[in-house]
Structure 1
């Protein structure tokens, strides 16, 4: 095989690998983007009732889920006519059959008599509750009807949540069907993933599993790397093959 033929072969191989990388990258990138658009919906948080977990004006991504997928500890987006018939963001602390109360002698929320440590009530680096020494400024007790959810804001001193509706039918709870989505991440300003609280994991039903957002993000990044890398590799491989061919031709001439 002549040097020219070897050069052409290497050039074609580089072009094939480059095109393959770009094609796979496009599939990953566009597939992850489409998957995310189907699974997730963006929202803007309207109030500071969920501070410090999410703040007023934050842009969040919430996974579209059915009401029966909701677990204690989830931060959810829901709409209920008794709460103003507009999308609201709160944390689920009780499900059907639970007795939710506050506060025990240590100022903690209890679910079915079990104290719940709520680290999400503290600002980053703080050692005490954001609202003071207890999980709620006022004491309350509520029994959650079957098929309902009891919701509180993380900013317990100002949040208008289930405590405000205790005298309503359902003791302040909302139907599971009112839930539109579960909040997985704060995307602007970047705050990262919203974890599932360990405190609820020992209760019946446990906590929900993490959503697919990290996998989707990984596919987006991998796709972008393959597209950029593939686009750059083709010309570099062809240039290298030409340079090698010229060197061999020059050496043969001597």
Structure 2
């Protein structure tokens, strides 16, 4: 095989690999984007009732879930006529059959008598010896099929505590939940974690959503598209440069 044929073969292989990388990258990018669009819905949070976890004006990504998948500790988007019939964002602290109360002698929320450590009530770096988990004491028995919800900004949040005198003692039906907040997309504050304190209770906490996998597919897709697009011209240029000395040598 002549040098020219060898270099041409190398150039064709480079072009083939380049095209393959771009094709796979497009599949990953478009697939990840479509997957995310099906699973997640964006919401803009209008108030500071979930601060510091989610602040007013934050853009969040909420995973569409079945009401049966809701667990304690989840930050959910729900709509209930008693609460104004508009989408609201709160944290689930009690499910059907739970007795939710506040506060114990250390100022903590309790669920079925178990004290719950709630680090998400404080900004990062803030002292653990802060205000109690609720400025007012309360007790609620959550009916089956219902959820008891609180905002993380307990001093101003209008949540289940406001509706304690309503039927269900401030709880809302599981079916009112539309989605679970998995991440703050803007500003990019990252994933909303699952509180460890609820993990020991029956049912545990919910598993992480697929957002990291979807984001990974998007990133890998972009890298393959850009890398494949750049590799083809580089390989062709390299093959042309390799042929030039041979052409010069043949002329002599």
- When the two structures are superposed, what TM-score results if normalisation uses the length of structure 1? 0.97
Matched residue, 1:101: 101
Aligned-pair CA distance for 1:124:
1.2
Alignment of 1:1-254 (within 5 A): 1-128=1-128, 132-254=130-252
Aligned-pair CA distance for 1:16:
0.4
Cα distance between partner residues in 2 of 1:127 and 1:23: 51
Structure 2, gaps ≥5 residues long: none
Cα distance between partner residues in 1 of 2:107 and 2:228: 58
Secondary structure in structure 2 of the residue aligned to 1:190? coil
* Matched length: 252
Secondary structure in structure 2 of the residue aligned to 1:248? helix
Cα distance between partner residues in 2 of 1:219 and 1:151: 34
Aligned-pair CA distance for 1:253:
4.3
Cα distance between partner residues in 1 of 2:94 and 2:19: 53
RMSD after superposition: 1.0
Structure 1, gaps ≥5 residues long: none
Secondary structure in structure 2 of the residue aligned to 1:105? coil
Aligned-pair CA distance for 1:252:
4.5
Cα distance between partner residues in 2 of 1:155 and 1:84: 19
Secondary structure in structure 1 of the residue aligned to 2:90? strand
Q: Contact 1:3/1:249 (CA < 8 Å) preserved in 2?
A: no
Aligned-pair CA distance for 1:232:
0.2
**Deviation per CA, 1:84-125, whole angstroms, max 9, x where unpaired?**
000000000000000000000000000000000000001111
Secondary structure in structure 2 of the residue aligned to 1:210? coil
Cα distance between partner residues in 2 of 1:98 and 1:249: 84
Cα distance between partner residues in 2 of 1:100 and 1:247: 82
